[in-house]
Amino acid sequence: MNERQSKGKGLGRSATSPDRRPPARGGTVIVPLLYTIAILYLAVTRESIYWFVDVGPYLLKAHHIAAFAVHVVLVRLWARRRVRSKALKLLLPLFASFALGAAIEIVQTLTPYRHARTEDLVDNSIGIALGYLAILALGLFGRVIRRLRAGVRPADTAPEPKKP
């Protein structure tokens, strides 16, 4: 038996089987981690960055919305490669991002120059929802593109089946 034939012997599955994952890239861990650290740092520093969006009686903080929309996307990209459970892949980004927002508000109660606000949690949640909607939309768009490339027709344009 030559080297080519012996590769993969005893593994119980081929190298191209669907349950075999490609190796995870280092950026899928480092980027979300650094982003989370940056959000935590900015949340407890004295210097503040504010971008407000006026929505009637309520002032939305655009920087909260943008930060958490990006955070949920980064956590989803990480979970896609690292988590096996399909349900956990979908729910972990939501819970992790919300937990980060809640942790920030708790930490801000301990600082003399920052204040915890429920409005910030609402803004964070809006960002999480928008980021997750973007994930779902891009996933759906990606599936449509893959089907079109594979030549799969939509149901309404498929040819009629032949009658015997």
- Whether the pLDDT of residue 103 is over 90: the answer is yes
- Whether the pLDDT of residue 19 is over 90: the answer is no
* Whole-model pTM over 0.75: no
Phi, psi torsion values for 57, nearest 5 degrees: -75, -10
Least confident of 48-52, 64-68, 105-109: 48-52
- How much is the pLDDT for 4? 47
CB within 8 A of 49, min separation 6: which ones?
42, 63
- How much is the pLDDT for 154? 60
Percent of all residues in the chain with a pLDDT value above 70, rounded to a whole number? 70
Least confident of 5-19, 53-67, 72-86: 5-19
- Whether the pLDDT of residue 107 is over 80: the answer is yes
Structural domain boundaries of the chain?
Answer: 25-149
Please give the Cα distance from 147 to 145 (Å, whole number): 5
